[in-house]
């Protein structure tokens, strides 16, 4: 007997390859591919608050629509709040079931609970955002892991990762009665977003091309180059994994096939396990989006100084590596992982600003902005997270720059006013002799700021604050 299934694409699975809900629905009868466009998020004022993610999402949606059209189906885009729209449409369209991929965030779980309650038919949530269902791994005493290396070891012992599913070749047409309420996917222009040409192209085709390029050009040297901010040493697949234009299983198996057993493969797959760890951690501890993992950090005496905050946001702290990170974020909606760590540590530990402010700012501009990974990254950097950097380890922005951007080319790209500084002083221009500054056309305090805080002073101050607070 043929059954009618709504396959609900929810913004984290914008692909047709390796899409288990879609494959299963096609095998059992009629398929209605649905995307719900919530007017709250797609209103111009709100969309402009998330310009980069919105651009990538719209590109990916347009491509998904084209791929479905090519195969005889179409994406049914409907406006409304999903908790209201999905149950109503399921009734009106006489669907037998609704299928989608599971999300881990607490607000998404609440949304799904409400939809399940309101739906008169089956609501099946598939795994697939991660390699293993979040919360599946437990310690010997049945607790969630809080140490990454133990989590990764357990994962390697227990996980079996199947081959990804091929993209379906053809679909049955969407029943005609359903087309009445369909709206067009908006463009950036219609939402008042200036397209940022420096962003990665969204959509499954561009994602697959990125994966191929990574395997061809970059993957082999991943272990040696992944920390180098001046080299294209990483995959740049984070937005694809966030929006599901590639499945994580596809990335995992492609890297295993290409590099099996090498140091590069181990190193790269380990990063995918960090991703697993962050999703699993948020699943088990939904309160982390508001609270530090380590309760001792609650009530930490963070300070707030608008001038310092603006200096960090605009990339005018006087620490070139920190400033490059801030400007890369706004310029191309991406920050190199090492630069994220340095920049986040600087905001929390040098400027004593609450990590949650930095976290929200990153969520606004990162194309790959993901609640679980971003929260984990910020809590790690502040020292209050799950398996975090200890609070007393404070990155020195100068030595970090010298080590991971040795010629200063990352800084030169994003802080062009230092373009002519010799490498010896590019990470510490305030120590350069007058003649060097003059030759490079740099006037400290005018063309480029002096440091907003002295490193040694900031370090001692944070240590004093933290040790006093944590003693309580």
Choices 87-95, 147-155, 337-345, 418-426 (CB under 6 A): range interacting with ligand FAD: 337-345
Residue 278, interface with ligand FAD (CB under 6 A)?
yes
Tokens coding 313: 């946001």
Residue 145, interface with ligand FAD (CB under 6 A)?
no
Nearer to ligand FAD (CB atom), residue 174 or residue 264: 264
Q: Report how far residue 245's alpha carbon sits from residue 251's, in angstroms, rounded to the nearest whole number.
A: 11
DSSP assigned state of 80: S
390 forms bridges with which residues in the sheet? none
Provide the minimum distance between the beta carbon of 362 and ligand FAD in the complex, in angstroms, as a whole number.
6
Q: Is 122 helix (H, G, I), strand (E, B) or coil?
A: strand
Q: Report how far residue 155's alpha carbon sits from residue 73's, in angstroms, rounded to the nearest whole number.
A: 38
Where are the alpha helices (H) located in 244-394, listed in sequence order?
Answer: 248-259, 263-284, 306-314, 320-332, 337-345, 355-365, 371-382
Among 36, 325, 344, 388, binds ligand FAD (CB under 6 A): 344
Q: Is 37 helix (H, G, I), strand (E, B) or coil?
A: strand
Q: Is 368 helix (H, G, I), strand (E, B) or coil?
A: coil
Identify which of 233, 194, 447 has the alpha carbon closest to the alpha carbon of residue 323. Answer: 447
Nearer to ligand FAD (CB atom), residue 101 or residue 226: 226
Residue 129, interface with ligand FAD (CB under 6 A)?
no
Scanning residues 207 to 226, which ones bind ligand FAD (CB under 6 A)?
226
Residue 418, interface with ligand FAD (CB under 6 A)?
no
Provide the minimum distance between the beta carbon of 223 and ligand FAD in the complex, in angstroms, as a whole number.
11
In whole angstroms, how large is the CA radius of gyration of the chain?
24
Residue with nearest beta carbon to ligand FAD: 377
Residue 328, interface with ligand FAD (CB under 6 A)?
no
Provide the minimum distance between the beta carbon of 379 and ligand FAD in the complex, in angstroms, as a whole number.
9
Scanning residues 46 to 105, which ones bind ligand FAD (CB under 6 A)?
none
Among 74, 242, 356, 361, binds ligand FAD (CB under 6 A): 242
Residue 345, interface with ligand FAD (CB under 6 A)?
no
Among 234, 328, 396, 400, binds ligand FAD (CB under 6 A): 234
Provide the minimum distance between the beta carbon of 227 and ligand FAD in the complex, in angstroms, as a whole number.
9
Residue 319, interface with ligand FAD (CB under 6 A)?
no
Scanning residues 246 to 275, which ones bind ligand FAD (CB under 6 A)?
271-272, 274-275
Among 196, 262, 337, 409, binds ligand FAD (CB under 6 A): 337
Burial 247-261 (b: 16+ CB within 10 A, else e): bbbbbbbbbeebbee
Work out whether the CA dihedral 327, 331, 335, 338 comes out positive or negative: negative
Q: Report how far residue 341's alpha carbon sits from residue 2's, in angstroms, rounded to the nearest whole number.
A: 52
Residue 151, interface with ligand FAD (CB under 6 A)?
no
- Decide: 312 and 342 in contact? Cβ < 8 Å: no
Nearer to ligand FAD (CB atom), residue 248 or residue 418: 248
Tell me how far the alpha carbon of residue 263 is from its chain's centroid. Answer: 25
Provide the minimum distance between the beta carbon of 409 and ligand FAD in the complex, in angstroms, as a whole number.
17
Scanning residues 360 to 379, which ones bind ligand FAD (CB under 6 A)?
362, 366, 368-370, 373-374, 377-378
- Decide: 454 and 383 in contact? Cβ < 8 Å: no
C-alpha distances (whole Å) from 251 to each of 68, 117, 234 are 22, 35, 13
Provide the minimum distance between the beta carbon of 253 and ligand FAD in the complex, in angstroms, as a whole number.
14
Residue 241, interface with ligand FAD (CB under 6 A)?
yes
Identify which of 420, 410, 223 has the alpha carbon closest to the alpha carbon of residue 334. Answer: 410
Cβ partners under 8 Å of residue 118, min gap 6? 83, 84, 86, 87
Nearer to ligand FAD (CB atom), residue 5 or residue 328: 328
Nearer to ligand FAD (CB atom), residue 93 or residue 268: 268
Nearer to ligand FAD (CB atom), residue 19 or residue 210: 210
Among 341, 347, 388, 415, binds ligand FAD (CB under 6 A): 341
31 forms bridges with which residues in the sheet? 5
- Decide: 346 and 312 in contact? Cβ < 8 Å: yes
Residue 152, interface with ligand FAD (CB under 6 A)?
no
Nearer to ligand FAD (CB atom), residue 244 or residue 429: 244
φ/ψ of 70, rounded to 5, equals -55, -30
Write out the residues near ligand FAD by the rule CB under 6 A.
226, 234-238, 241-242, 271-272, 274-275, 278, 337, 340-341, 344, 362, 366, 368-370, 373-374, 377-378, 381
């Amino acid at each position: 007997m043929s059954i009618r299934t709504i396959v609900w694409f929810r913004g984290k699975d914008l692909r047709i390859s390796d899409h288990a809900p879609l494959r299963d629905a096609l095998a059992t009868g009629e398929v209605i591919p649905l995307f719900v466009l919530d007017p709250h998020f797609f209103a111009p004022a709100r969309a402009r608050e998330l310009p980069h993610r919105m651009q990538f999402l719209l590109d990916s949606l347009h491509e998904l629509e084209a791929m479905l059209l090519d195969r005889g189906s179409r994406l049914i885009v409907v406006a409304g709040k999903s908790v209201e729209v999905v149950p109503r449409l399921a009734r009106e369209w006489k669907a037998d079931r609704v299928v989608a991929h599971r999300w881990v965030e607490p607000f998404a779980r609440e949304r799904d609970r409400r939809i399940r309650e309101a739906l008169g038919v089956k609501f099946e949530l598939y795994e697939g955002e991660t390699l293993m269902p979040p919360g599946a791994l437990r310690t010997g005493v049945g607790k969630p892991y809080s140490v990454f290396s133990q989590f990764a070891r357990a994962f390697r012992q227990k996980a079996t990762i199947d081959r990804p599913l091929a993209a379906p070749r053809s679909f049955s047409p969407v029943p005609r009665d359903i087309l009445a309420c369909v709206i067009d996917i908006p463009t950036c222009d219609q939402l008042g977003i200036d397209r940022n040409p420096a962003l990665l192209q969204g959509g499954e085709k561009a994602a697959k091309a990125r994966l191929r390029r990574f395997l061809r050009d970059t993957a082999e040297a991943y272990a040696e180059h992944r920390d180098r901010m001046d080299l294209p040493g990483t995959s740049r697949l984070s937005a694809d994994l966030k929006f599901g234009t590639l499945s994580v299983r596809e990335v995992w198996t492609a890297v295993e096939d290409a590099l099996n057993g090498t140091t590069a493969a181990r190193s790269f797959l380990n990063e995918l396990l960090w991703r697993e760890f962050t999703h699993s951690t948020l699943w088990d501890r939904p309160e982390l989006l508001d609270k530090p993992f380590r309760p001792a950090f609650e009530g930490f005496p963070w300070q707030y100084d608008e001038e310092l905050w603006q200096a960090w946001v605009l990339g005018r702290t006087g620490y070139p590596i920190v400033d490059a990170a801030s400007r890369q974020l706004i310029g191309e909606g991406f920050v190199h992982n090492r630069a994220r760590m340095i920049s986040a540590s600087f905001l929390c530990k040098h400027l004593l600003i609450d990590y949650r402010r930095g976290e929200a700012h990153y969520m606004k501009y990162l194309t790959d902005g993901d609640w679980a990974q971003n929260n984990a990254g910020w809590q790690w950097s502040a020292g209050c997270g799950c398996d975090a950097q200890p609070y007393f380890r404070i990155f020195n922005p100068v030595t970090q720059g010298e080590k991971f951007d040795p010629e200063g080319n990352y800084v030169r790209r994003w802080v062009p006013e230092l373009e002519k500084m010799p490498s010896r002083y590019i990470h510490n221009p305030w120590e350069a002799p007058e003649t060097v500054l003059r030759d490079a056309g740099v006037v400290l305090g005018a063309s480029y700021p002096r440091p907003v805080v002295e490193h040694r002073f900031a370090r001692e101050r944070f240590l004093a604050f933290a040790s006093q607070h944590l003693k309580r």
